[in-house]
Structure 1
Amino acid sequence: MTVFMNRVGVDIGGTFTDVALSHAAGLDTCKVLTNYAQPEQAILDGIQIAADKAGVAMRDIGQVIHGTTLVTNALIERRGAKLAFITTEGFRDVIEMRSENRFEQYDLNLTLPKPMVPREDRLTLHERMGPKGEVLLALDPAEVDAMVKTILAGDYEAVAIGLMHAYANDAHEVQMAEALRAAAPEMSISLSSVISPQMRELPRFNTVIANAYVQPQVADYLGRLVRRLGEAGVTAPVFMLHSGGGLISVDVASEQPVRLLESGPAGGAIFAADFARGHGLDSVLSFDMGGTTAKICLIEEGAPKTANTFEVARTYRFKKGSGMTVSTPVVEMVEIGAGGGSIASIDTLGRVQVGPRSAASEPGPACYGRGGEDPTVTDANLVLGRLDPDNFAGGAIALSLQAADRAIDAKLARRLQMNAPEAASGITEMVDENMANAARVHTVENGRDIEHFTMIGFGGGAPLHACRLCEKLGIRELIIPPGAGVGSAIGFLKAPFSYEATRGLFQRLDQFDAQAVNAVLTDLEAEATAFVSAGAKDAVTTTRVTAFMRYAGQGWEIPVVLPCKIFADADQAEVLAAFERAYRKLFGRVIDGLAIEITNWSLVVASALPATPPVERHAHGASVTPLRTRQFFDMALRRIVDAQEVDRAAMTAGKAVEGPAIIIENETTTIVTSGFRAIGQGDGSLRLIRKGDS
């Protein structure tokens, strides 16, 4: 007899902490306000609430899966360890010189972001490795001893070591680290050859610096979380969702916290991908809007698009290039400061702007009555009738319409010489246009036509805004899954145990060395398998191999998925064909006559998940009985409309409601605009279809 394991997923967001508890009788969820001073307290409170609803004792929880924005927030807010960076002589200023690209071409007063490590804390060693791992200049033990003394005298909490070409030969990095650990066993030390063993010194240096910068803080937080869970009776193992969309142990997360950069949003992408597979959708735009940010991700053939680099802590209007590029496996998405707590303001030209500043959970939107005075997107939605002040978050948080109206009137409406509802409509239209623009750019950058995609919306804010986004983008179908308000937390429960190992190995394709490639892949598979086995000992696993390739002279590579096998030199033609397929899919053509290069290799080992059962899909259905009639402002029609209010529980398979309609549930509210109708589906999701389509 199989015993069901009670599993809980916990996602800490900027405004809410979401909890999803899977148990034998089903799924129970809840949202609690995030506690910034003690984030683990919100987790404990949320788990207790969900466990009480499910009738599950805390001691009977068998697994906790957690995602957090702690790493990203620490990098953005520069709240990390006092850090020293040790590099090769002559390369001290690489992280300050950056890539020398101007992310704002016409700003004559452009200020580059400050490097994570000040120049006086960037130290150098007289050593040098070659790109093939050959020792060009040996590391002198006397210099190592002198460096240890300098580090100890500097009272540093953490050290990042990034030497030239360490991805090809890590001997000098290991030698330096061993000396430091012998002298200061408690010091946090990160090696680029462990954290990011890939070519390109800028992202490799940035990645090891980011890891070392947050490691003491993350290790302390995770240790505190495990301890307090144990004190509350939850003695189950805790796993973390990494930014590539898989689970790793707390120990691995403590050693390599840079892998947690986008752990929360990655859970949302997994959540959406699961529903995409169930509905048989090959082209999906995942739209995740919470209290602080909105995330948009492409999901094709049932899997989120992934990348091996990510830019964090953008400092200039969220522009690409203004942040810190790190090389770590990540679900590729665009993220903007557009959430329920995003603050609306008027710029110097008299235009309404929304975000990136957020009221978050402390003090929160003005309507929360917790001291917030700035108008936010949530305040605007309340004034426009999209939210019920007496039934927000299942009635757990009473909203003040008067406070929302007062904040919008004082900060926006009077200055714009309009009334509060008119100003509120400007707020929602601006935030919707910002998100629509982000979606357009993301799909164009990936060579896709957005009109052919289906949107899957989740997060507390997405169901309120998704219909309007579809109108702006020309998207004809929208799916709102069950549990959408806590989608990322549910996604954690659907994630596999996985680990992505990477290694730099530069080759010209016309000089393909299969023996060297096989040696690297064997090492990567052993590394990845060891990490996965630690969390899922006897699980069936799958392996995916990716080569990062480019035409000679190009500045960046594209990922090319290859068969997992023992390569032979004769497989050069197969690798070429795979590269040209990938290149043509992305850019529409290939380039004849140019040499092709391979720069890095990646290998992912993941535990196999059960197949997602197909969903019974409905395009029409019998009308559902509404609870009452409410009014909200429909932006497409530019007027207030009478809408049917429907309980989400009544939207069973085959039940339908014509827009305008408002579908309510505890964690979110779905707005069905006048141009759409909503139909319940076999998996409990809502399918919103543009009227006139079948």
Structure 2
Amino acid sequence: MVRIGIDVGGTFTDFVMSDTRTGQLSFFKVPSSPADPSEAIADGTRELLARFGVAPQEVEYFGHGTTVATNMVIERRGVSTGLITTRGFRDVLAIGRQTRPALYDYAVQKPAPLVRRAHRLENEERLDAGGNVLRPLDEAALEEQARALVAAGVQSLAIVFIHAYRNPGHEEQARRVVQRVAPSLHVSISSEVLPEFREFERTSTTVLNAYVAPRMQQYLDRLSARMLEVGVQADPLTFHSNGGLMPTETVKRLPVLTCLSGPAAGVVGSTMIGAATGLSEIITFDVGGTSTDVSLITGQRPSFTSDRLIAGYPVKMPMVDIHVVGAGGGSIARLDDVGALKVGPESAGAVPGPVAFRKGGSQITVTDANIVLGRLHPQRLLDGRMAVDRHAAVQAIESQIARPLGLSVEEAAYGIVRIATASMSRAIRAISNEHGHDAAEFVLFAFGGAGPLHAAEVAKECGMSRVLIPNEPGTMCARGILLSDVSRDFVRTQLAPLDDASWKALGALAQQMQDEGNRWLQSEKVPEPLRRFHLAIDARYRGQTHDIRVPVQSVEPGARAAFEEAFHCCHQAQYGHDHADRPIEVVTCRMQAVGQVPKPDIQRTGSAVSSNRPTGRRDVYFGDGHGWVSTPVLHRDALALDTERVGPLVIEEMSSTTVVPPGTRMRVDLTGNIHLEI
């Protein structure tokens, strides 16, 4: 039997297949199909199984990471959405917060609310801050509003009532009414999507869920149908942003949980491989076709956050903390209005793609520059399955960049790479140096199709001396999916001063949430011995508006002092100071329910007797006083374990290419990972 992990990227769709009998890992890539990602998934699965001689009936596990929901928000391709809320709160979406992230930028524009004001309606219901009913739900008015929204073309509805996080009764009642009189409407309620306080973020997140849900359901239905046509019977699982997998029915109800799901899988895989290699302090560096995604891992634990923006819209969901910049292999290079060279954030994507791919692309990309510089193979990629045209890339760079700037083609191409490197380096400094971490103390864990291509130069610019490149780095996110468990996060707001009474209430709430998680895991047929629960409490000093998440081992009566000490330590670590004499407030209780699944061996060993002989040589442009250098080219499978070499080198494999600049020391460890010493 086999298990398959899939990551859908903007340019390529990556596959990793694990044979549960032999432990063998197989890797594969196909171009993505942006119009309908399920096409590339189905076609790639069919090719993968045929290539490695596996029958579709042998697939017992099928997990995938996707940015379908994220792309719908970015491209504004969701459905017409309505909002029903408590009287007086219809304009919460438009008012937002009084924060000014770009105070002096007069060109900044707030994104328009995803729900038109005419489709934001109010009901007379009202709860107080304790969840007690002040005014009952007006069902008659609600019925009329639901019919009016359907008549106006609304396809999905968000219901967000004030203080519903304390009492979901009115929202659940409203959903039943709407489903009775307007069964065609998809309904999302905030007490199910995000039962936390802070009205703007709760409303925004619930609206986003409603905005993408109908089309996410259609995508998942198409995916399931196409996989059945391939012959795969396993139910698809989808990776969510907090580092776990969810079944299809949960994703259909809560698609907002999948935003940034693919990059999160890469962080999970990096954490596990780093731990197996003995590394605890890692900066992940995932460069794909569209973006560079970076994340900080400390003490062998990824960083998490609950506050992110997607296309300017707040999403308050637990997720792996990933910083994204628009710099990838498909990032477009161009001259701006004053003749300066710019790279990104626009991307050529899979279609039309880079000029050298000959799929209709006419705008120069970072990939074109790397092909011209000899860093990528000038004739073929993906182990020969994809032909490229270096001459077309040379002509495009010469006419669009080099000639207008008075540069040679290689100088122009190297300038494109340098600008992309600078953007990637800024992303790393944003999550490290700007938050009190010295990047030099971390290992750069490079993956993605273009991560190893740029890793050495990015590490040098950031003052980092060590780089780790795993086997088949271009499929790391897909491998991370194979290494992940089924999980779901449950959250409840419990705003109160920390004292004996509130600590006792937290204990009861934690038990209630664990019971809820148990019921969910039972519905997913997870055996009881494989169930795990992780508790965390968000807290703050009295008077603060920001809170800190503190992992909690126990909420027994005698564990309160340990929690207080842990909170002070977390505050000191994050902000550089703590106030042990100030009262603490608890804000939110979080419970993650985990169902453990079998996992493949996270390391793939190579051969200790490989030849280490180059498969050829080609001229590679390194700039910085080196210029064109005749460089040995090796296939990664030819690298012997536990050996060292000194650059320049180009190391090619199916999913990626590693560039080792002159003077950089390269070492292959006993499990096949490549280590660079800058």
TM over 0.5: yes
| % same residue | 33
Pairing 1:631–2:610 present: no
What's the offset of the Cα at 1:175?
1.5
Partner of 2:38: 40
| Mapped contact 1:277–1:301 kept (Cα < 8 A) | no
Cα pair distance change 1:534/1:298, threshold 3 Å: farther
Q: Distance in 2 between matches of 1:535 and 1:435?
A: 40
The alignment of Structure 1 onto Structure 2 pairs a total of residues equal to 674
Partner of 1:426: 415
Match of 1:557 in 2: 547
User: Which of residues 161, 184, 187 in structure 2 aligns to 1:186?
Assistant: 184
Q: 1:532 to 1:450 in 2, by over 3 A?
A: farther
1:51-106 superposed Cα distances (whole Å, 9 cap, x missing partner): 12221011221111011110000000110111101111111111111112122211
2:15 matched residue in structure 1: 19
Matched, 1:114 2:112: yes
- Alignment partner of 2:383: what SS? helix
Task: Please report how far the alpha carbon of residue 299 of structure 1 lies from its aligned counterpart in structure 2 after TM superposition.
Answer: 1.5
Q: Does 1:540 align with 2:526?
A: no
Q: Contact 2:379/2:390 (CA < 8 Å) preserved in 1?
A: no
Aligned to 2:127: 129
Q: CA deviation at 1:585?
A: 1.3
1: CA distance between counterparts of 2:114 and 2:625? 49
Name the amino acid aligned to 2:7: D
Find the partner of 1:524 among 513, 523, 526: 513
CA change 1:576–1:445 in 2 (3 A) is farther
Call closer, same or farther: CA 1:586–1:688 in 2, change over 3 Å: same
Specify the SS of the correspondent of 2:637: helix
Letter in 1 for 2:131: G
**1:15-67, Cα deviation, whole Å (9 max, x unpaired):** 11111111244122211111123321111111122112221011221111011
1:242 aligns to what? 240
Q: Which residue of 507, 514, 522 corresponds with 2:496?
A: 507
Paired residues of 2:482 and 2:599 also in contact (CA < 8 A): no
Instruction: Report the counterpart of residue 378 of structure 2 in structure 1.
Output: 389
Residue matched to 1:161: 159
Residue 639 of structure 2 corresponds to 651
With over 3 angstroms needed to count, the CA separation of the structure-2 counterparts of 1:677 and 1:530, relative to structure 1, is farther
**Residue in 1 aligned with 2:454?**
465
- Residue 131 of structure 1 and its aligned partner are, at CA, apart by 1.9
Give 1:636 shift: 4.5
Q: CA deviation at 1:592?
A: 4.8
Q: Contact 1:82 / 1:158 at 8 angstroms: preserved in 2?
A: yes
Deviation at 1:606, TM superposition (A): 1.6
Structure 2: how far apart are the matches of 1:238 and 1:611? 17
Query: Do the aligned residues in 2 keep the contact of 1:465 with 1:671 (CA within 8 Å)?
Result: yes
CA displacement at 1:140 relative to structure 2: 2.7
Contact 2:568–2:580, Cα closer than 8 Å, also in 1: no
In the alignment, which residue of structure 2 is the partner of 1:603? 591
The letter of the residue matching 1:641 is V
Alpha-carbon distance, 1:629 to partner: 2.4
One-letter amino acid matched to 2:439: I
Bigger shift: residues 135-144 or 542-551:
135-144
Higher alpha-carbon deviation: 606-615 or 34-43: 606-615
Does the 8 Å CA contact 1:656/1:678 hold for their aligned counterparts?
yes
Q: Distance in 1 between matches of 2:599 and 2:564?
A: 32
Between the aligned partners of 2:165 and 2:202, the Cα distance in structure 1 is: 9
2:13 maps to 1:6: no
- Asked if residue 49 in structure 1 is aligned to residue 37 in structure 2, the reply is no
Distance 1:533 1:297, change over 3 A: farther
- 1:95 maps onto 2:83 in alignment: no
> 1:541: Cα distance to partner?
2.6
- Offset, 1:251: 0.8
What is the Cα deviation at residue 644 of structure 1? 1.7
The equivalences for 1:276-425 within 5 A come to 276-313=274-311, 323-425=312-414
Q: Which amino acid aligns with 2:4?
A: V
**Aligned residue in 2 for 1:666:** 654
Deviation at 1:225, TM superposition (A): 0.8
**In structure 1, how many angstroms separate the alpha carbons of the residues matched to 2:552 and 2:614?**
53
Distance 1:94 1:232, change over 3 A: same
Cα distance change, pair 380–144 in 1 and its aligned pair in 2 (3 A): same
Given that residues 278 and 613 in structure 1 are in contact (C-alpha distance below 8 angstroms), is that contact kept between their aligned partners in structure 2?
A: no
Offset at residue 626 of structure 1 (A): 2.0
Contact 2:284 2:446 in 1 (8 A): yes
* Structure 1 residues not aligned, in runs of 5+: 314-322
What SS does structure 2 have at the residue aligned with 1:513? helix
Q: Measure how far apart 1:638 and its partner are.
A: 5.2
Which blocks of at least 5 consecutive residues in structure 2 are unaligned? none
- Answer with 131-140 or 266-275: which moved more: 131-140
Aligned to 1:583: 571
Q: Deviations over 1:283-305 (max 9, x none)?
A: 00111111111100111222321
* Cα deviation code 1:394-417 (max 9, x no counterpart): 111111111111221222222212
1:19 maps to amino acid: F
Q: Secondary structure at 1:542's aligned position in 2?
A: strand
CA shift in 2, pair 1:445/1:561, >3 Å: farther
**Deviation at residue 455 of structure 1 after TM alignment:** 1.1
Quote the offset at 1:210 in angstroms: 0.6
Residue 221 of structure 1 deviates from its aligned partner by: 0.7
